[in-house]
Amino acid sequence: MKLYIGADHRGKNLENYLYQTLLKEGFDIEMSKIESNENDDYPDFAFDVCHKVIENKENVGILICGNGIGISIAANKVKGIRCARVTTIEDAFNAKNHNGANVIAFGGISNNDALNIVKNFLETPKVSETRHLRRIEKIIKYEQGEYNGL
């Protein structure tokens, strides 16, 4: 599993903290190559990270902006991405274990909270319950233009 992380200027300090901490803990992690500055745009970071995540089913992404909302919206425009804005470790668990998220987004939280959320997300088992798998399959089929169950 490779972990990709990206943040606009409002999330850059948190991105640096998470990158350094997770790297020291032995995670295979790569930061977005998009340059961060006061005039950057969060969609660029979302698209950069998400295109790397979809290269391998085992890859996951972390996105950070002011509050996590805008960057998660942008991320979900990338085919194959299921990004959830999370604010708690419970959100992170449900995002991955119930909704099959391969990217999480947040912002405006402490370094410690962010680290706990990320670790929980990484340690959470993938979706295995039939009801959750069925729902995710509907999302995938809709994204591919194949779902006609409406």
- Of the listed 9, 50, 51, 65, which one is catalytic? 65
Closest CA to 60 of 104, 6, 112: 104
Catalytic (active site) residue 65: yes
- Of the listed 9, 51, 98, 132, which one is catalytic? 98
- Give the 3-state secondary structure of residue 84: strand
- Positions annotated as catalytic residues are 65, 98
